[in-house]
Amino acid sequence: MPSERRKGTCGHLPLNVRSKAGRMKSVNLGRMIRLAGEVFSARTDPDQLDVDEAVIERLQSLHPATLSEHVEGDGPVVWILLIPTTRETMDLFFDHKIGERELLDRTHPGEHVDALYLCSALVLPEFRGKGLAQQVSLAAIRAIRRDHAIRWLYVWPFSEGGDVLAKRIAEVVGLKLYVRKNPRVSTESA
Ligand SMILES: CC(C)(COP(=O)(O)OP(=O)(O)OC[C@H]1O[C@@H](n2cnc3c(N)ncnc32)[C@H](O)[C@@H]1OP(=O)(O)O)[C@@H](O)C(=O)NCCC(=O)NCCS
């Protein structure tokens, strides 16, 4: 995708951007991939979702807005990942009967979904605090809600920023937020 078309845009993450990542020259893309590596390597839960090309393809088959980005300059500066699931799957996750990976394994294209998992948000450091994560997340949630009657929103925060962001998003979309406790994150922050 030519860089001039990507400048300042906000939209769903095209699969080819990630699959051709190794060959692209975007500085932002390289930084985002490094940031994702740093952030996700810090997560030690064995049941967490590792985002590889198969996972990206699977997510996109569920809904194009499951992976969304905001582009500035030569590439992405924000990535937001959402997983549409059922309330039954959400309950199993909260009961610790399944992990994050199974949220995706249990969801199939074309099936009824009513619970949305706020999976991850990544913003390059100099773009933080400008409302971008919230803006991209809200656009993605609205796109998914146009196709699915989402009634529940849930999150498993692993940073204070992720926790506050999820709470703000829930307030704006008017859904109650269900938070799976993470002992490493204070969820009293908002
Ligand atoms: C967390 C992160 C995604 C926030 O992105 P951002 O674009 O700065 O967030 P926004 O500007 O949209 O802020 C949304 C809300 O969250 C709050 N917030 C953002 N980062 C925060 C932080 N570190 N601590 C407390 N609150 C924070 C904002 O104040 C805002 O709330 P407000 O409307 O009441 O002011 C970004 O800091 C990041 O990429 N961090 C590293 C990865 C990470 O921890 N991701 C979250 C878990 S996957």
Buried b (16+ CB within 10 A) or exposed e, 78-90: bbbbbbbbbeebb
Tell me the CA–centroid distance for residue 161 and ligand 1, in Å: 4
**Closest atom of ligand 1 relative to the 165 alpha carbon:** 16
Tell me the CA–centroid distance for residue 38 and ligand 1, in Å: 17
Q: Hey, which of 122, 135, 165 would you mutate to test ligand 1's pocket, going by the most ligand atoms within 8 Å of its Cβ? A: 165
**Has residue 190 been placed in a domain?**
no
Domain count, the chain: 1
Whether residue 115 contacts residue 85, with contact meaning beta carbons closer than 8 Å, is answered with yes
Residue nearest to atom 22 of ligand 1 (CA): 161
**Mind listing the pLDDT tens digit of every residue in the chain (190 residues)?**
333 333 344 455 544 445 444 455 799 999 998 998 888 776 666 777 888 888 889 999 999 999 999 999 999 999 999 999 999 999 999 999 999 989 999 999 999 999 999 999 999 999 999 999 999 999 999 999 999 999 999 999 989 999 999 999 999 999 999 999 877 777 654 4
Tell me the CA–centroid distance for residue 110 and ligand 1, in Å: 32
Residue nearest to atom 36 of ligand 1 (CA): 123
**Has residue 185 been placed in a domain?**
no
**Closest atom of ligand 1 relative to the 120 alpha carbon:** 48
Residue nearest to atom 19 of ligand 1 (CA): 161
Question: Which residue bears the tokens 């529940």?
Answer: 152
Q: Return the pLDDT at 14.
A: 44
Query: What CATH code is carried by the domain that includes residue 70?
Result: 3.40.630.30
Tell me the CA–centroid distance for residue 109 and ligand 1, in Å: 30
CA angle (18 as vertex; 177, 20 as ends), nearest 5: 175
What is the SS3 assignment for 41? helix
Q: Hey, which of 50, 164, 169, 173 would you mutate to test ligand 1's pocket, going by the most ligand atoms within 8 Å of its Cβ? A: 164
List the domain range (segments joined by +) for residue 40. 3-179
Q: Return the pLDDT at 170.
A: 98
Question: Which residue bears the tokens 């990630």?
Answer: 18
Whether residue 172 contacts residue 164, with contact meaning beta carbons closer than 8 Å, is answered with no
Q: Return the pLDDT at 187.
A: 62
Q: Return the pLDDT at 185.
A: 72
- Give the predicted TM-score (pTM) of the model: 0.88
